[in-house]
Structure 1
Amino acid sequence: MSTALAVFVVQQEFSDSAWKKSAPVIVGEQGATIYLGQDESENLRKVQKAGRQLDNLGVSSAKLSGEGWDFERQWAFANGYTDTRSTNKLEWASNSEALTQTRNVVNWTRELVNLPPMDIYPEALAQRVAEKLESLAPEKVSSRVIKGDELLQEGWMGIHTVGRASKRPPCMLVVDYNPTGNADAEIDTVLVGKGITFDSGGYSLKSSEGMLAMKCDMGGAATVAGALGLAIEQGLQKRVQLVLCCAENLVDGSAYLLGDIITYKNGLTVEVVNTDAEGRLVLADGLQYAGEVGAKRVIDAATLTGAAQVAVGNEYNALFSVDDELANKALSTAAAQRENLWRLPLQPWHKENTPSAFADCANSRPQKGGGTGGASNAAGFLLRFAPNDGKGWLHFDIAGAYHNSANAMWATGATALGVRTIAALLQD
C-alpha cells in the first residue's frame, strides 16, 4: 500500500472558506488538490509553487493522481517538489519513462552544481562528466582530459592562466559522442561549458558573502553536460562534442595579475583588467577548439555575468547571438520546453567595448561589473573567438541556474534551467 500523498489537479476555482484563494495547494483528507484556471502559463507556475509548498510542509513522498496531469504539469510539480538534496520521492501519473529519464539527468546536473568545492574540483568535474556520459552510451562516447602544463603544450592559454594558482591543476575535458561509427563524421555541434569549480575572484578578490556560492561557477559546464546526457538518453543521432573548460580561480604567488597579457592560440592578445572576469578567458579556449574541429553549430553556457542576472533576474536565462535565425530557433525551443529564455543585445561592435591600449582587447572594463552593458560586452569579448564571426553560435548566460536561498518556485541551489532547451536544440 502506497504511503505517498495523493496530489490532484482540478480545473476550477475552489470555494473552501478555510483556505486563502492565493494558496497554491489545498490539503484535505483525500490528499492535496491544486485548483487551476484558464491561463496555462499561470497554471504551471501554480503547480510548481504547490510542489514547493508541499516540500516545505515536510511531505517526503507524493503521487500525482487523477486526470489532468500532462507532461508539463508533472514536470512543473517536480521542479517545485525537488528539495536541495533531491531526496523527495515522486510517482508520476503518466509519461513515467520520459519524466523519470529527464528527472534523473536534471537531478544529476543539480547535484554537480550543489557539491562542495572540496569534492568538485577541475579533474573531479571532468571525471564525473566523462564517466556519466560514457555510461549512457559506452560504445559511442570517448573522452580525453588535457591537464596542467599539457594545456600550454596544446595552446590552451586561457584555462591554464586562470587555473595555474591552484594546487589542483586546470584541465580541458573533450567528450566525443559519435553515434555514426565513422571517425570522419561531421561534427554537428560543439557544446562549451564554463567549469570554474571555485571562484575567489583572484586578485580582484570577492567579498566573503560574494564568494560563498562560488561553487556554482561551474554551472555552465554542468548544464551543457546534462543537456548532452539528456539528448543521448532521448536517442540523439548526431555527432556532438562537449568541451569543458575547468579551473579554480585562486590566489597565490603564481596567480595571474592585473595588467598581465595573455596571447591566445589564434594570436589575439588580451590584457587582464579584472581577474574576476575569468569565465570568458577560459571559454575563449573552448570556442577556438570548436572552430578547429569545424563544428556546424557552437553552443556555450556559463554563469558569466552578474549583469545578466540584473537584467533578467533569477527566473530567466539570457541568450546572446549575432545569428538571428539560430537565436529565434533557440527562443522558440525554450518556449516549447517551458524554460524561460530572453535575448539580450549583441552586435559585432560589442567586440570593441573592452578596449586596451596594451593588447588587442581587455577582458573587461576596469569598472564595477564591467560597466554599463556588462553582459553584452562580455558576449562581445567571446564573439572575438567564436568561429565564423558568430554564425551558428549561441551564448547562454545562465542567470537562473542557481539560487542562494529558496523561494516560492525553487529550492536553494541549482535549478538546471537550460538543460531541456539545449538538449532539444541538439535534436533539431
Structure 2
Amino acid sequence: MNFTLSSKPITDIKADCLVVALPEKGTWPESTTRADELLGGQIKTLQKNGDATGKTASTLLVPLEGQPWSRLLIVGTGADKDRTPTAYRKALIATAGQISDGPSKHAAIALADTPVTGPEASGSETAKLNLIGRILEDQFYRFSGFKSEKLSTRKLAKITVTASGTGKALKDAFNLGLATGRGMNLTKDLGNTPPNVCHPSWLAEQAEKLSKEYDVVKTDVLDEKQMKKLGMNSLLSVSAGSAQPAKLIVMEYRGGKADEKPYVLVGKGITFDTGGISLKPGEAMDEMKYDMGGAAAVFGAMRTVAETKPKMNVVAVIAAAENMPSGTATRPGDIVTSMSGQTIEILNTDAEGRLVLCDALTYVKKFDPEVVVDMATLTGACIIALGSHATGLLSNNDALANDLLAAGERAGDRAWRLPLWDEYQSQLDSNFADMQNIGGRPAGTITAACFLSRFAKDYRWAHLDIAGTAWLSGKAKGSTGRPVPMLVDYLMSNVGK
C-alpha cells in the first residue's frame, strides 16, 4: 500500500474516494465543510434527510459525478462531547472496513481535523495522524499463507491522508503509526502461524531474519546446551517432554549512547501448550498456539523500533519452548533449580509460562536494565478478571506502572493494574522447595506475578498478563497484535530520558 501525507486542500486532491467526518452534533471539521460547499450542500441534505446520521462509526457511501472524487464516504463521529479517543478509533476502524475491499484504487482520508475530547495529547493532530496510520495498517491485515487459493488482490493501492502540514513532527507521527501497525501485523503473523511450523527453532529463525532486514538489530540465540550451562533448569523443564528444543532468543537494538541503560522486553514464547503431564482439556486446545503471544508482541515492538530507529537502547529476550507430554516430560512433584539458585516445586506442569520467564528474568540482569517489562499469556484467571478488553498489569515500581498505564490510555491499548502485595506471596509456600509454581485458584493472576517478582528484585519491573488480549476466539479468531501499541508508546515516550 502506498501511503502519503498531504497538506493540499481536499478540493485539489483527485481520488476515487474522499472520506470525511460528520459529527452527529456540533461543529463540522473544515474538510467536511469544504467538501459540502463543492457539492452544493449535498452532505447537509443527506444529514437533514436522515441518510447520514453522524452516529459514531456509521458510514454512508455516495457516488459522485463531475467532482474530483468518484465517491464520497461519510463517516459518523458522534457528538463533540462524546468523541473520546476510543470513539474516534471506532470511526477509523469503520473507515478502513469500508475502503479496504471496495472498488476504489485511491482513497483520500480527511479525518485528522476531527476534534477529539480527553487529554490534550490524545486530541493533537500528531496523535490523530499516528492513530490513523496504525489503524489503517492494522485493519488491512490479512493472513492467507496457508490457504490453497490466494485471496484476491485489493483494488485499493494508494491512500492519501490530509493534514494541516507535512512538517517533520506530523510526518514522524504518521510514519510511527504506520510502523506500529506493521509491528502489530508481524505479531499477528507469528501468532496465527500453525504450531507445526511455529516452533522455537522457527521463532529463532524469524529473529535472525529480522536482523538481516534491519542491520540495527543484533540477534543471538542460546541453545539448550548453553542454557544448561547457565543453570536454566526451570526453563528447560518445560521443553523436556518435546522433540523441539528450547531456545533463548536475544535481540539487541543500540540506538542510544553506549552508557545508556537499555529498556528490556521479555516475552513468553510457548509455541504450543498442551499443559504437559497436567494435560489441558481438548476443547479449544488449538488456540494454545497463541501461548507465544508475549514473544510475538516483543517481535512486533522490536520491528517498530528497528524501522523508526529511536535514540535509545532496547533489548528483547524471548524464552521459547514447546510444552508437551511424553516419557521425558517434567512430572508434577518434580523440583528444579532455577538460574537464580532458587528451587521450585512444580505442582502443575500447565503453569509453565512462569517457569520459562523466571530464568529469562534472571538472565536479563546482565544488561543492567533501565526497566524490564515482561509480557505473557500467563493465566486464565486474568481473562476471568478483565475479559478481553484490558491487559493485566503488575509491577514492583509505581512510576513504571503509571507510565505503562498512561501509554495504554494514549494508544487505546489499555491495561488495569492489580496489586502485588506481600500477603499473596504465602500462597506459593512449599514444604519441599523454596516455592511452588502455583498458588491455588484465588488471585491466580496475582500469585503468578508474585512468583515472577521473586526473580526481578534487582531492577524496576512490570508484568503484562495478555491472556485475554493477545488473541480473539470465535468467528474473529486470530491474533490481535496487542500489546504492541502500548509498548511502542511507552518506549517512544522515554526517548532521550
TM-score bracket for this pair, using the shorter chain length: 0.7 to 0.9
Give the conservation status (yes or no) of the 8 Å contact 1:9–1:66: no
Find the aligned partners of 1:2 and 1:180 in 2 and give their Cα distance: 42
Tell me how far 1:178 sits from its aligned partner.
2.2
Higher relative contact order (CA 8 A, sep 6+): 1
2:244 to 158, 168, 192: 168
* Structure 2 match to 1:394: 462
Find the aligned partners of 2:180 and 2:268 in 1 and give their Cα distance: 22
Give the conservation status (yes or no) of the 8 Å contact 1:44–1:76: no
Is 2:75 the partner of 1:34? Answer: yes
Is 2:80 the partner of 1:11? Answer: no
Q: Which amino acid aligns with 2:312?
A: K
Give the conservation status (yes or no) of the 8 Å contact 1:84–1:412: no
1:338-361 CA distance string (max 9 Å, x none): 221111121234332222111111
Find the aligned partners of 1:120 and 1:333 in 2 and give their Cα distance: 30
Secondary structure in 2 aligned to 1:242? strand
Find the aligned partners of 1:74 and 1:236 in 2 and give their Cα distance: 18
User: Which consecutive residues of structure 1, in runs of 5 or more, have no partner in the other structure?
Assistant: none
Secondary structure in 1 aligned to 2:284? helix
Q: How many residues align?
A: 413
Give the conservation status (yes or no) of the 8 Å contact 2:15–2:107: no
Tell me how far 1:22 sits from its aligned partner.
7.6
* Structure 2 match to 1:75: 134
Give the conservation status (yes or no) of the 8 Å contact 1:350–1:380: yes
Find the aligned partners of 1:164 and 1:426 in 2 and give their Cα distance: 35
Secondary structure in 1 aligned to 2:161? coil
Give the conservation status (yes or no) of the 8 Å contact 2:236–2:246: yes
2:228 to 133, 152, 155: 152
Find the aligned partners of 1:159 and 1:2 in 2 and give their Cα distance: 57
Tell me how far 1:322 sits from its aligned partner.
2.1
Find the aligned partners of 2:257 and 2:436 in 1 and give their Cα distance: 42
Find the aligned partners of 2:375 and 2:271 in 1 and give their Cα distance: 14
Larger radius of gyration: 2
Give the conservation status (yes or no) of the 8 Å contact 2:262–2:367: no
Give the conservation status (yes or no) of the 8 Å contact 1:144–1:175: yes
Tell me how far 1:154 sits from its aligned partner.
1.8
Find the aligned partners of 1:337 and 1:402 in 2 and give their Cα distance: 18
Residues 422 and 45 from structure 1, CA distance in 2 versus in 1: closer, same or farther, beyond 3 angstroms? closer
2:446 to 368, 376, 386: 376
Find the aligned partners of 1:61 and 1:361 in 2 and give their Cα distance: 60
Give the conservation status (yes or no) of the 8 Å contact 1:51–1:78: no
Per the normalisation by structure 1, the TM-score is: 0.87
Give the conservation status (yes or no) of the 8 Å contact 2:136–2:181: no
Q: Which amino acid aligns with 1:141?
A: V
Find the aligned partners of 1:2 and 1:130 in 2 and give their Cα distance: 43
Per the normalisation by structure 2, the TM-score is: 0.76
Q: Which amino acid aligns with 2:377?
A: T
Is 2:113 the partner of 1:65? Answer: no
Q: Which amino acid aligns with 2:250?
A: V
CA-atom RMSD, angstroms? 2.8
Residues 66 and 264 from structure 1, CA distance in 2 versus in 1: closer, same or farther, beyond 3 angstroms? closer
User: Which consecutive residues of structure 2, in runs of 5 or more, have no partner in the other structure?
Assistant: 1-12, 26-46, 64-70, 113-127, 146-150, 163-170
Q: Which amino acid aligns with 2:480?
A: T
1:358 to 429, 432, 447: 432
Tell me how far 1:147 sits from its aligned partner.
1.4
Tell me how far 1:100 sits from its aligned partner.
3.0
Find the aligned partners of 1:421 and 1:413 in 2 and give their Cα distance: 19
Find the aligned partners of 1:294 and 1:167 in 2 and give their Cα distance: 34
Tell me how far 1:10 sits from its aligned partner.
2.0
Identity between Structure 1 and Structure 2 (%): 31
Find the aligned partners of 1:155 and 1:125 in 2 and give their Cα distance: 22
